[in-house]
Amino acid sequence: MDFNLQTPTLLFSAISLLMLAYTNRFLTYAGLIRDLFKQHQENPTDTTKNQLINLRKRMSIVRNMQILGGLSFFFSVLSLMLLFFSFDLIAKISFGLSLLFMLLSLLLMIIELQVSVNALNIQLSDFEKKN
């Protein structure tokens, strides 16, 4: 494999888009938590309590996704810098770490999607109880 300055830059657009998606997800959850918390204070129910517990878990996962995405970006940029200074072996290791962090971030994204489905199931179980 030819490893040059262009190789680490392949991740830049992917990491940037993922970080944007993660940030949007984080902001959406923050808004939901504020709304549900207010709703739960006014009229406490098991459904809102369970939703808030689920959202706390999801926020934690998204935070970790963002951290891993940031580390992926960091090591990709570090790889570029190391290549620039002709530290080829260390640059390859740094790029490998970047790929590993990206992979872990994507794995957490899949886990977070599963937790999101559980949140919808909480909401739907409340609907089923009423019908």
pLDDT confidence of residue 15: 87
pLDDT confidence of residue 64: 96
In angstroms, the CA 2 to CA 88 distance is: 11
> In terms of pLDDT, which residue wins out, 104 or 8?
104
Strands (E), 11-130: none
54-84 confidence digits (pLDDT tens) = 999 999 999 999 999 999 999 999 999 999 9
Amino acid (1-letter code) at residue 81: M
* For residue 122, pLDDT beyond 80: no
pTM, entire model: 0.84
